[in-house]
A and B are shown apart, each in its own frame.
Chain A
Amino acid sequence: MKIEIKDLHYTYPAGVEALRGVSLTIDSGEQVAMVGQNGSGKTTLVKHLNGLLQPTSGSVLIGDLDTKKVPVAKLAVHVGYVFQNPDEQLFCRTIHEEVAFGPRNLGFDASKIESLVADALNLVELSSRKETNPYDLSPTWRKMVALASIISMDTSIVILDEPTTGQDAVNVARIAHVVAELRKRGKTVITITHDIDFCAENFERVIALSQGKILLDGPAGSVLGQGEILAQTYVDPPQLTRLGKRLGLKKTVRNQEEFLSALKS
């Protein structure tokens, strides 16, 4: 499903102007990373995609659904949102119940629910822990339960709010694998992240926000190379991109292989 945001403004009830005219289109099946300093409006923006927030002015269309007119429950069929903090979204007694809750609410029949749950748990490597209480797991694995509970809803759009926060290298790789699998399935994935290396290695398109507006929007390779502009929103280019620049490599490199082969030539 296509996402169309037109001149979106949002002011919180206390008067903080979090979005100041954002327009963008995300096509079905795109993998987009959103970066920018704390308080730049990233979370506020994605909360408009499933109707958790309503525009102060401007509009948000999910396919042909206007989020101002369609209730959150209807939008939930199309847009899944994994919160930054898993503890804000987990409440069931077992992992199985938790992951089945979403598809059950969407009204799928019992066998469909079971197959969606099995698939989601398999993807996050929790198949063997079905009967465990999510709160008996470490925060790391609770994050994976939160992820599975959205994947099982089989929405065409999946939003991940800072999925790699506090995760070690093994788990970051696990999350990257989930993103790659969703891409294969043709899902739209929108990820908010401060982990620029994760962003460079897993996303094709990068949107940088600054003070409630879009600062840069384009292919990762070109956006992440623009160090001076990114500095305005407190984002550093990926580590190896910076190293390549400092060493005077002509090409903008994004990962180790690109770096090493540019170094040789």
Chain B
Amino acid sequence: MAIVNLKGVTYKYPLTETPALSNINLKINEGEFVAVIGPNGAGKSTLCYTLAGFVPHFFKGDLQGSVEVAGVETKTSTLSDWVLNVGLAFQNPFNQISGAKYTVYEEIAFGLENLGIPRGEMKERVDQALTLTGIRDLADRSPYSLSGGQQQRVALTSILVMQPKVLVLDEPTSQMDPIGTREVFGVIRSLAERGMTVIMAEHKVEWVAQFADRVIALYEGKLMMDGRPGDVLTSERLVGKGYGISRYTSAAREASRRGLWPRNRELPVTLDEAVMGFGGFPLPRGEGQGVRGKGRK
């Protein structure tokens, strides 16, 4: 059943004329991993803020329509209640790290302290979260002494420790190296398998194709496409608008114009799909692209 339900959501930031989000209708099921793509300014971050209740509780402005998570509407809730259900990791970890704590360990515990979680449970949850995201060895460092990618892991961990039902991530791996990116996508995928609902704004489409269940494409505040990763990410409609497009997709699109890509074959997003297509491997029967879409049954 839908845990997130947006109906006719239109939002304008204070003192602006153009809506940052325009008539968004969106239902997301429990345990779904949804990636949100779009060029800069398409509304990805605003959608994240709206799901996390920062719109309208922190950013005032004009919010039309309704935003429901787990049956509660943002407008009738408070931000302090909202954080029990929805966690948001900011795009820029610098904006998220509290500045009030001297070590990564304390930083991760900060949210739980504010909820008044008993000490024993708090330590247990912090330890689990540090292990989950692979940053135990950073526990005693100052958050500000870390590299950008390490800070992003800390920011993510400080949200995961809150065990939200809905996890909202705004480009959580933008400053990470490829291995870090792969690990974070893996962790998030496994959380989704265990029932956490994940909404992630992301430019790195080849990872999205491998891990997400569904992709939403925003453009100028509107929902332009919503579907299976393979269908959305290879769509001609994304071309020339500033969307991240996998180099495999672009190369195969050009190759098919020159007759170098198998006819009637879906364009690839990932390396494996590109290897199979260019290498002329037949597709498994009835499986579409086979390697993609760990779609939940």
| Chain A interface residues (CB < 8 Å from chain B) | 12, 14, 16, 36-39, 43, 84-85, 87-88, 138-140, 162, 165-171, 194, 196-197, 233-236, 238-240, 242-243, 246-247, 256, 259-260, 263-264
Contacts and interface: CB of A to CB of B under 8 A. Distances in A.
Contacts of A138: 40-41
B142 A14 contact: yes
A217 B34 CA distance: 39
A118 B93 CA distance: 33
Contacts of A37: 177, 179-180
Contacts of A14: 141-142, 145
Of all A-B residue pairs in the complex, the 6 with the closest CB atoms, nearest first, are A38-B149, A234-B179, A170-B242, A140-B40, A168-B39, A239-B247
B258 A166 contact: no
Contact of B260 (A16, A236, A260): A260
B251 interface: yes
Q: How large is the interface on B (under 10, 10 to 19, 20 to 34, 35 or more residues)?
A: 35 or more
Interface stretch (B78-86, B123-131, B158-166, B168-176): B168-176
Nearest to A249: B278
Contacts of B141: 14, 16
Contacts of B271: 239, 242-243, 246
B275 A169 contact: no
B91 interface: yes
B175 A162 contact: yes
29 contacts: A12-B145, A16-B145, A38-B177, A84-B175, A85-B148, A162-B175, A166-B171, A167-B203, A168-B38, A168-B40, A168-B244, A169-B244, A170-B40, A194-B176, A194-B177, A196-B178, A233-B177, A235-B177, A238-B247, A239-B247, A239-B271, A243-B271, A243-B278, A256-B247, A260-B251, A260-B254, A260-B255, A260-B260, A264-B258
Given A36-B177, A242-B271, A260-B260, A171 B255 contact: no
A210 to B, nearest CB: 11
Interface string B146-157: 111110000000
Contacts of B39: 168-170
Given A194-B176, A194-B178, A247-B279, A38 B148 contact: yes
A37 B150 CA distance: 10
A168 B243 contact: yes
Contacts of A235: 177-178
Interface in B176-194: 176-180
Nearest to A38: B149
B219 to A, nearest CB: 11
A259 B147 CA distance: 34
A39 B147 contact: yes
A174 B143 CA distance: 32
A140 B41 contact: yes
A243 B275 contact: yes
Contacts of B255: 260, 263
A2 B151 CA distance: 33
Contact of B174 (A12, A166, A260): A166
A12 B271 CA distance: 39
B150 A39 contact: yes
Interface in B13-40: 38-40
A243 B251 contact: yes
Contacts of B149: 38-39, 194
A225 to B, nearest CB: 16
